[in-house]
Amino acid sequence: MALNIYFATNRKILKEGEGAEVGEEFHPNIDELRFGKVSFAGKELYRKDLGSFVDRARISLAPEEPDKEDADKAKLGSKAIFHEVRAEMLQKGDVLIFVHGYDHRFREAAGRAAQLQQWLAAGGKDMTLLMFSWPSAGAGVSQRTYADDRDRARMSGPALGRAILKATDFIRNTPRNERCDGRIHLLCHSMGNWALRGAVQAMRTFVGNNIPPLFDEVILAAADEDDDTLHLGHKAAPLLRGCRRLTVYYNHQDLALKASDYAMGNPDRLGRSGPGGSEPLPKKVAVVNVSPKIVWEAKGASAWTADPSGHQYFRNNARVRQDLIQVLNGRLDDDFAVAKERRTNDSGSFWRLE
């Protein structure tokens, strides 16, 4: 049975219909959204290199047929995909919205989403996965490509914000007797958090600080974002209105974010230092230091867990996966301490994996 990764993107569409293809540049209108799905074959894709399977995946685009005279007759790709997501949620339960990081071609981003879905399912949390793919160039790692992708992520904020508002409107317009009971979660990795800040600010132009409470759990993993972002209204702080709980995972040994911090001249990164600022964080924010549990080197049959940068733990570290799944299942933060799975500091809001 094929694994479907649903997506929204503001990338340029290279080919419609059979054998559809999505490119690495912006749509001519950078805020324009197209919706579809990428179908993968195979199990345990998280054990495989992306290059071994992503080019065989099948991309399907939901058709867009606007009707200028009668909006009710228009066929919207967003509505078609949201209906498919809803149908799958009736079988699986929750849905996870995933925003990928730096240096990902579209197919690579979809492959990462497939690996994440199967990785979590293997740990006991089988969810529907909906990806937002901003037009990262996937052109390799360098100071130039980093700066380019950072701009691309920032400019994609309004498109991601539109996608979130579209999902909110779809739910609000769904008859109560047709709704599913699944929860909606959000996971942003690395530079995807930079796009998320732009989305929050774009949504504020429509709803002010009344960000719609769409999300149950929000997870910011290895966030390439300023460490004070959750304290400031002009950054990501208004997102707290839109979720039940927000969890930050950070790693002091994250070499990718160390490069972002030092080589690129950015402020302290949230995903490497944890939240900064002198003011306490709201109670709905949990901060988890994963540094003691990061796998730096593995050989033989476990080589797929190798993470030489300390940046990919959200999808390949078994201990982090265990914690992620319990967060997604709604486990209370205090219960982690009772079970001695996390150690807390005196404030009770900063945790360390044990």
pLDDT band at 124 (very low <50, low <70, confident <90, very high): very high
Task: Kindly report, residue by residue over 260-304, the tens digit of the pLDDT.
Answer: 887 788 889 999 999 997 788 999 999 999 988 876 666 666 666
At residue 108, does pLDDT exceed 70?
A: yes
pTM value is 0.94
pLDDT reading at 322 higher than 80: yes
Averaged pLDDT for residues 10-27: 94
pLDDT at 308 (0 to 100): 81
pLDDT value of position 71: 60
Long-range contacts (CB closer than 8 Å, 24 or more residues apart) made by 49-55: 50/108, 50/111, 50/112, 50/115, 53/111, 54/107, 54/108, 54/110, 54/111, 55/107
CATH code (residue 60): 3.40.50.1820
CA dihedral 215, 221, 226, 228 (to 10 degrees): 60
Question: Which residue has better confidence, 279 or 108?
Answer: 108
Inter-residue contact 40 to 114 (CB < 8 Å)? yes
Range of the domain at 326: 3-353
Condensed to tens digits (0 to 9), the pLDDT of residues 167-215 reads 999 999 888 888 788 999 999 999 999 999 999 999 999 999 999 999 9
Domain count, the chain: 1
Of the two residues 65 and 199, the one the predictor is more confident about is: 199
Q: What is the pLDDT of residue 263?
A: 73
Q: Mean pLDDT in the chain? A: 91
